[in-house]
Structure 1
Amino acid sequence: MRLLVIGGSVFLGRSIVEEALRQGHEVTTFNRGRSGEDLPGVTAVRGDRENPDDLRALAEGRTWDAIVDVCGFTPRVVASSARALSGHAPLYAFVSTVSAISTWPAERVDETAPLWECDPEAGPEDGDYSVLKAGCERAVETFFDGGALILQPGLILGPWENVGRLPAWLRRIARGGRVLAPGDPGQEMQLIDARDIATFTVDQAAKGTEGRFLLTGPAGNTTFGRWLADCAEATGSDAEFVWVDDDFLHAREVEPWTELPLWIPAGESDAGAWSVATARAEAAGLRCRPVRETVRDTWDWLKDRDVAALEERLPSWRRHGIAPEKEARVLSEWDAR
């Protein structure tokens, strides 16, 4: 298979390229060369997808068996790519997100759930991340002259993570001592490794599969307590987890998702956050490795890296993790309650 990956140098995109090369496919990447390095073995085409001349130069004289777009965030930009690449491949696979579904995370969702309303040529001023992703999906379906494969991942973890959620926990737990742990250790979660999404994406692209797939791990494939214990095991830490009530953390303005990544306080309108239907993707071949393996491999990738350099290149890393002095204060107040 000849595959074009728009992006392809960061986290999920990198995993997709790596998997495609492993399977022996020919891979072309199209990116600006700023976010990360292309993997050896690809044909790297430099360009900005927001520049019509760069898109024309990419398409001129080239055809592929499938296109995978991992870095589309604005509908009108995706629409331009879809138009420019029409006729140059029979399939356009677009990596969206479960949050493009308007009823998630309040409800359990499947592939029939409604998307946010968003015009397929909307600009960045016309909505937030979730709304615009829904518009991007429509842009592919509307303007690409060929088949559309829409992939809606849930919470993605794994080596090369560029968001910083799992790395924040690994770094904190590796320091050891008493670790602030939020809410209920038995809270079930639903996590997926970027490499498992990559395998599914490449396999479906090779088959020419069309349609929509929600991609995340099986419901309850870990719990918050088990996940943090996996972090302790992977790092060899002597961390002592101190489980603190949601209300107590709320009262002290501890932020879910950022200061304590992946924490969803009980009672919030997120009943379906860890309850996404995966039957359709599993029937099509999705297989997910154990979360413990994802945690271990992420630590193996992270442990010897220059974290300061990563934070400089990946600003979102600096937003994840609680400040040590704030954690110590909350734990002290919890002890004295």
Structure 2
Amino acid sequence: MNLLILGGTRFIGRHLTVAALEAGFEVTLFNRNRGGVRFSEVETLVGDRHGDLSALKGRTWDAVIDTSAYTPGAARRTAELLQNAVSYYTFVSTVSVYRDFAQSGMDEDAPVSTVTDEEVADVETTSRSESTGASYGRLYGPLKARCEEAVKEAFPGRALVVRPGLVVGPYDYTDRFTYWVRRVGLAGKGLGTEVLAPGKPERRVQFIDARDLAAWTLKATVAGMTGTFNATGPDYALSFGAFLETSRRALNPEAELMWVDDAFLIERSVEAGDLMPWHPVEAMPGWERFYELDTGKALKSGLTFRPLTETLRDTFAWDQTRQGDEPLKAGLTAEREAALLGAWRAESRV
């Protein structure tokens, strides 16, 4: 297969590129050529989703996988340009497109969020060449929903939309999952032995290893699958407590989990985004069941997951190779965690 990947060097795209090369595909990347990994054996076309697309003109591929569109304008311009250049378009979206998460077991037919034309116009006229998904704030999900529409309009009957949940694993530049891996793995080895565990241990969590997401997305693309699929895991009900306990056993049995109430943390301005997949439902109306999506459609189509312990150990091993002492982008600093644990004890809650 001759495959075009829009993006392809940072996280999800990086794993897609590796998987495609391992499968023997001829791979072309289109990106800004700034940051990320460089694949010497891969042709990279340099351009900008929000500007110059000329490098894509006059070329053909069997299929394209789009990992880098955040605005409907970027998605539409690229999809329309590639209408006759590829047979098939795979768009990597997000579960954040859904209007709310008040119900457990929502499938792909659940209503999606909307964004006004005025909001879209405002976003489209703002320079976004250096943006990531997080930079769009509350509009991230609604904009991705409009991106889906743009792709499906340009490729009727020839589009696959993949909606991943929280994506984790090696090379995750968000550090959300990596925070827990590092925190547990280094407990008593440079960090405190006692690990602040937020909220209720029985609360559900969902996430997917980027390598599993890449493998299934690639297979679905090769098979010419169409439609929309929730893509998150695992394929069983996993609680936050079981996730952290598995982390402790796999990485560092010396770590001690100290569970701290949602209300206590919220009172002290700890936000859910600081400690994902912590999910204080009382403070997040409409998002109560964010980690309880139905993934049966993707599972029936061949989505599989590696053991959680493998994801944990591989992420920890990768994290230990990173250079420097730059703080993580997510999680609590050692000082803040110690202060919170001290305050928790002082209130005689343990």
- Asked if these proteins are the same fold (TM beyond 0.5), I'd say yes
Cross-structure match for 1:228: 244
| 1:91 maps to which of 88, 92, 104 | 88
CA gap of 1:124–1:95, structure 2 versus 1, over 3 A, is farther
Distance 2:76 2:93 in 1: 14
Which residue of the partner structure matches residue 173 of structure 2?
162
Distance 1:212 1:44, change over 3 A: same
Q: Is the 8 A contact 2:105 2:292 kept in 1?
A: yes
Contact 1:188 1:219 in 2 (8 A): no
3-state SS in 1 of match to 2:208: strand
Matched residue type, 2:226 = E
C-alpha displacement at 1:307, in angstroms?
4.7
**Shift of residue 305, structure 1, vs aligned partner:** 1.4
Q: C-alpha distance in 2, partners of 1:22/1:65?
A: 17
**Aligned equivalent of 1:59:** 57
Residue 263 (structure 2) aligns with: 247
- RMSD between superposed Cα atoms in Å: 2.2
Q: Which deviations, in whole Å up to 9, do the C-alpha atoms of 1:296-322 show, x marking residues without a partner? A: 11111111211546x6xxxxx42x111
1:314 maps to none
d(CA) in 1 for partners of 2:41, 2:165:
29
Q: How does 1:255-294 map to 2 (within 5 A)?
A: 255-258=271-274, 260-267=275-282, 268-269=284-285, 270-294=287-311
What code does the residue aligned with 1:58 have? L
Aligned to 1:33: 33
- The CA deviation at 1:213 is 0.6
Letter of the 2:113 counterpart: W
Q: Distance in 1 between matches of 2:226 and 2:167?
A: 22
Q: Which residue of 1 aligns with 2:313?
A: 296
Partner of 1:19: 19
* Matched residue type, 2:160: L
Paired residue for 2:212? 196
> How far apart in 1 are the matches of 2:36 and 2:122?
24
Q: Is the 8 A contact 2:168 2:207 kept in 1?
A: yes
Distance 2:202 2:261 in 1: 13
How many residue pairs get aligned? The number is 326
Is 1:205 the counterpart of 2:212? The answer is no
Give the whole-Å Cα distance in 2 for the aligned partners of 1:232 and 1:33: 38
Contiguous gaps of at least 5 residues in structure 2: 125-137, 188-192
Cα pair 1:153 1:216 within 8 Å, conserved: yes
SS of residue in 2 equivalent to 1:128: helix
Look up the match of 1:102: 99
* Shift in Å, 1:284: 0.9
Give yes or no for the alignment of 1:326 onto 2:336.
yes
Counterpart residue number, 1:175: 186
Query: Is this contact kept in 2: 1:158–1:294, CA < 8 A?
Result: yes
Amino acid corresponding to residue 73 of structure 1 in structure 2: Y
**TM-score (ref. length: structure 1):** 0.90
Query: Contact conserved, 2:186 with 2:252, CA < 8 A, in 1?
Result: no
Q: 1: CA distance between counterparts of 2:24 and 2:201?
A: 42
Q: Does structure 2 retain, via aligned residues, the 8 Å contact 1:7–1:70?
A: yes
CA distance in 1, matches of 2:116, 2:61: 28
Partner of 2:127: none
Question: Retained in 2: the 8 A contact 1:188–1:220?
Answer: no
Moved more, 270-279 or 171-180: 171-180
Give the distance between the partners of 2:300 and 2:220, measured in 1 at CA. Answer: 12
Q: Secondary structure at the match of 1:57?
A: helix
Contact 1:29–1:45 (Cα < 8 Å) also in 2: yes
CA contact (8 A) 1:99 1:105 kept: no
TM norm structure 2: 0.86
Q: 1:105 to 1:65 in 2, by over 3 A?
A: farther
1:71-82 pair list within 5 angstroms: 71-82=68-79
